[in-house]
Amino acid sequence: MTYGELVTLGEQKLKEANINDSKIDAFLLFEHIFGISKSKYLLIKYDEIREELRDKLDEFDEKLQLRCLNIPLQHITGIQEFMGMDFVVNKNVLIPRQDTEILVENAVLTITEEIEKENPRLLDMCTGSGCIAISLTKICKLQNTIAVDYSNAALEVAKENNQKHSTQINFINSDLFTSLNGEMFDIIVSNPPYIRTEDIRELMPEVKDFEPMMALDGTSDGLEFYRKITKESKKHLNDGGFLLYEIGFDQGKDVKSIMKDNGFDNIEIIKDLSGLDRVVKGHKA
Ligand code: GLN
């Protein structure tokens, strides 16, 4: 059998199990298990699979079976790339999304162009895997980052990523701000749970059956965390500080008015690459 035939076979198995992205996922599993990149694969596609790689065929098959059960690809490989960095993930954290890179990119701009301060202090609220805190801290060379989550299991993953990327972030278990008495920041970022409870059943099985509900469920109107975090953020932001959120595509107006009601100004709604509202940013006067 050739490498190309193997990948096509994988793709067919996933397709038969009605897996979206069967082509991409079959290749990504192949790449993960065989350690063969796309560019190398294109060159050897028509070659017979080398003898010493044959023992990997079983592993490929086993992992395809898992993917056929709708288990997210990233739970099988244990890795998701975000902002050009690899993050360890498991069932206890939300898998980093490309949409969330919009939040990080805008936070980078805010830190480099608007916060006129040496060593600004960053807080990442509801950090999950730590991908936002870690990528921002690395890109902006921050030295004072705190990241918070309510889930100890998520914090274990975040701490592993902290080590992996040699960042010295202080990961803290806290129910929102309760364990952050007196801590002040120049910028607060958050991708809180924001899916309306009744919309959860509409999500893909990969998400609703395998990702942590706690990271998704934003209560009945999806806005509870924005209300709580915005109210508390006022007390933890230095004057001139910024609050940036990831939001769902239809939450821009509501989150903007929550920020406005809490005294934030210069509130902006920022779109993602598909033209959908994705980030809300506010300034503490
Ligand atoms: N954007 C995520 C999704 O589509 C949800 C993230 C969140 O609730 N913070 O599933």
Pocket test for ligand 1, best of 80, 246, 273 (most atoms within 8 A of CB): 246
What are the tens digits of pLDDT across the range 200-215? 999 999 999 999 999 9
Say whether pLDDT at 56 is over 90: yes
Q: What are the boundaries of each domain within the chain?
A: 3-69, 90-284
**For ligand 1, what atom is nearest to the CA of residue 211?**
10
Pocket test for ligand 1, best of 194, 196, 209, 251 (most atoms within 8 A of CB): 194
pTM value > 0.75: yes
Write the class of the CATH domain 90-284.
Answer: alpha beta
Say whether pLDDT at 54 is over 90: no
Average pLDDT value for residue range 250-269: 98
Amino acid at 232: E
* C-alpha torsion 99→124→205→277, nearest 10: -30
What are the tens digits of pLDDT across the range 34-46? 999 999 999 999 9
CB 194 within 8 A of CB 218: yes
pLDDT of 176 reads 98
**For ligand 1, what atom is nearest to the CA of residue 195?**
8
CB 77 within 8 A of CB 215: no
**For ligand 1, what atom is nearest to the CA of residue 248?**
1
Residue 193 CA to ligand 1 center (angstroms) comes to 7
What are the tens digits of pLDDT across the range 222-235? 999 999 999 999 99
**For ligand 1, what atom is nearest to the CA of residue 203?**
10
Ligand 1, pocket residues at CB < 6 Å? 94, 97, 99, 191-195, 207, 216
Residue 1 makes CB contacts below 8 A (sequence gap 6+) with: 9, 48, 49
Residue 194 CA to ligand 1 center (angstroms) comes to 7
Say whether pLDDT at 116 is over 90: no
What are the tens digits of pLDDT across the range 130-180? 999 999 999 999 999 999 999 999 999 999 999 999 999 999 999 999 999
In DSSP terms, 173 is beta-bridged to 149
Average pLDDT value for residue range 58-83: 98
